[in-house]
Amino acid sequence: MICAISGEAPEDPVVSKKSGLLFERRLIERYIQDHGRCPVTKEELTMDDIVPVKTEKIVKPRPLQAASIPGLLGMFQNEWDALMLSNLSLEQQLHTARQELSHALYQHDAACRVIARLKKERDEARLLLSQAERQLPAETAPALSNGKRAVEDVVGPDGKRIRPGIVSATVDELAEYNKMLSAQRKQREIPETLAPIDALERYTQISSHPLHKTNKPGILSIDIHPSKDLIATGGVDTNAVIFDRASGQISSTLTGHSKKITSLKFVGRDELFITGAADKTVRLWQGNDDGTYNCAHILKDHTAEVQAVTVQATKKYFVSASMDNTWCFYDLSTGTCLQQVGDPAQDGYTTAAFHPDGLILGTGTSDSLVKIWDIKTQAFVTNFEGHSGPVTAMSFSENGYFLATAASDGVRLWDLRKLRNFRTFSPYDANTPTNSVEFDFSGSYLAIAGSDIRVYQVANVKLEWNLIKTFPDLSGTGKVTSVKFGADAKYMAVGSMDRNLRIFGLPGDETDNQMTDME
């Protein structure tokens, strides 16, 4: 009896009812399980069609080679020869793999050397380019747009360039985004992760970082990345510094401006970053994977110091405001100035900020006025009067109802629904201006900076806004220039007229393990 599958005598024979063929039980069971038919006749076959055959146990005969000692020795010799050949093959494969690994490591080392050399050449070229740009006289360098000479600009009869304007498609996009943000704001609640009042009362300076040059000290502007633990500072030394708070290290230093940087902003998408300076230019920077930034566009549409840059809610557009009495609306993707709005009847702009919904622009002037603009029509809407001295800073609350403005006489709070001033803070004397005012992202806290830093609890129009804590100016200059809340108000970043960025928070909460204080 021979198995129809293996061709050998079966140990546990079974026979098919349909074909009468003999099989080894384990072989036919597996075949039926996989295919459901007879392996020989190809008919459908189930286990019910299999009948065991009762036979005596079969003793398999030994192979012919194992019947004698010389045969066994021959079998062992064959197995040994096969083992040696297999070992030789493995050694050859190992030698080949070692050669390939050695070659790959050599290529990697050579590539690293080439990359290091190219980076060095790139840095030297950037330095030479920035030096050349600084040496170019203003009269020989016509206005730049998108980093190229604006030969395509059309000049009108009055000698001013004609801008493309904010087209209806852009207006519709802004209006649609405004509608979406307004709906979301009504449903938004204060996050549970927001730092409570008792935590702010215990805030103290937890680190200080010397980021700017000692021969030109002074931090004039600060911004915090909306989703990364990065802090940007703009200084009197003409540099913008990107600081990684988690590592306590400078991520990148942006050079190129020839005068002090007055304002800077993270865009919050595509690693874009904006700086405005007293050299009349705005620079748009593009971040790289290694944390460095390249200057993508140099915008020279202003004829006086740029005092503020602010990003529109869609993160596709931004506005710059200048002492030349104009503000410019830019397309971030191209660096094109779509519209330049001027008001010759007033003094220059000293600050600017977008409403959280993106259709209202607030500007402050050097003659104490706060002006509100409609972005869709670029039309002036209303004035807020009452300040004395230049308006130094402004901040819209995230609830969309309040506007805080700062000037020499302190801080005024405006109700945008009724267009009136409902509260005034005068924390300092007449000779000490308020330099910065800032709502946190939740709209729960308000920070004021002048000769010190004061944090208030935000209430409503009728209730009192209570002072939570006053932080002293630890720079010794008596002039705090900027203050920003971190995510969930877990810390505050403060800039003064020395070269140090200071972080205030709860002792022990600082993610900066490499604290430095080199005052």
pLDDT tens per residue across span 302-357: 999 999 999 999 999 999 999 999 999 999 999 999 999 987 777 799 999 999 98
pLDDT exceeds 70 at position 469: yes
Q: Report which secondary-structure segment, H or E, holds 35.
A: helix 25-35
Residue 82 has pLDDT above 60, yes or no: yes
pLDDT computed for residue 165 by the predictor: 87
Q: What is the pTM of this model?
A: 0.68
Instruction: Tokens 């293996």: give the residue.
Output: 6
Whole-number pLDDT of residue 136: 59
Q: What SS3 string covers 393-419? A: EEEECCCCCEEEEEECCEEEEEECCCC
pLDDT given for residue 515 in this prediction: 43
29: left (phi over 0), alpha (psi -120 to 50) or beta: alpha
pLDDT tens digits along 128-162: 887 777 665 444 434 444 444 333 455 555 556 77
SS (H, E, C) 163-226: CCCCCHHHHHHHHHHHHHHHHHHHHCCCCCCCCCHHHHHCCEEEEEEECCCCCCCCEEEEEECC
Q: What is the pLDDT of residues 260-305, one digit of tens each?
A: 999 999 998 889 999 999 999 999 999 998 889 999 999 999 999 9
pLDDT of residue 157: 54
Q: In the predicted model, is pLDDT for residue 3 greater than 60?
A: yes
SS3 69: helix
Percent of the chain with pLDDT over 70: 91
According to the model, what pLDDT value does residue 513 have? 42
pLDDT in tens, 168-177: 999 999 999 9
Amino acid 78: pLDDT: 87
| C-alpha dihedral sign at 472, 240, 328, 334 | negative
**What's the mean pLDDT in 47-57?**
86
Strand runs labelled E in 367-513: 370-374, 379-384, 393-396, 402-407, 410-415, 420-425, 436-439, 445-449, 452-457, 467-472, 480-485, 491-496, 500-505
Assess whether pLDDT exceeds 50 at residue 226: yes
**According to the model, what pLDDT value does residue 484 have?**
96
